[in-house]
Amino acid sequence: MEREVKQIWNVIEGQQSGVQVLIFDAYIGASKGSFRTFLAIKSEHSPFGMDTRRDCIVQSNGWMILIRVPFPLEVPWATWSMGIRNLERCLNALRAGSGVCG
């Protein structure tokens, strides 16, 4: 099944500790699809520690993209976004260089 991005909103662009950061929500998937929150860091290496039960990290064109995935994974149309506290934890981890996010 192909996961096509249908619409993007709530875009935040900036820098954290000299690293380019993008945060956005997007509809993905067929027909109505579902939405996810994406946290993208311009880096060849992942700055994130990862809880593989909840997060997926994708590397594309020099970006590391953290995506919160639905649970259970058998429900691909489910809505799943990252909360403000989790995003803040990830940005603080990037600033501290700890790589602990989630």
Domain chopping of the chain, boundaries: 5-96
Q: How do residues 21-36 score in pLDDT, each as one tens digit? A: 999 988 877 656 677 8
The 3-state secondary structure of the chain, one letter per residue: CCCCEEEEEEEEEEEECCEEEEEEEEEECCCCCEEEEEEEEECCCCCCCCCCCCEEEEEECCEEEEEECCCCCCCCCCCECCCHHHHHHHHHHHHHCCCCCC
Residue whose C-alpha is closest to residue 99's, from 47, 50, 55, 54: 47
Mean pLDDT of 32-42: 81
Q: What is the pTM of this model?
A: 0.74
What confidence tier does 7 reach under pLDDT thresholds 50, 70, 90?
Answer: confident
Do residues 78 and 34 lie in contact, with contact meaning Cβ atoms separated by under 8 Å? yes
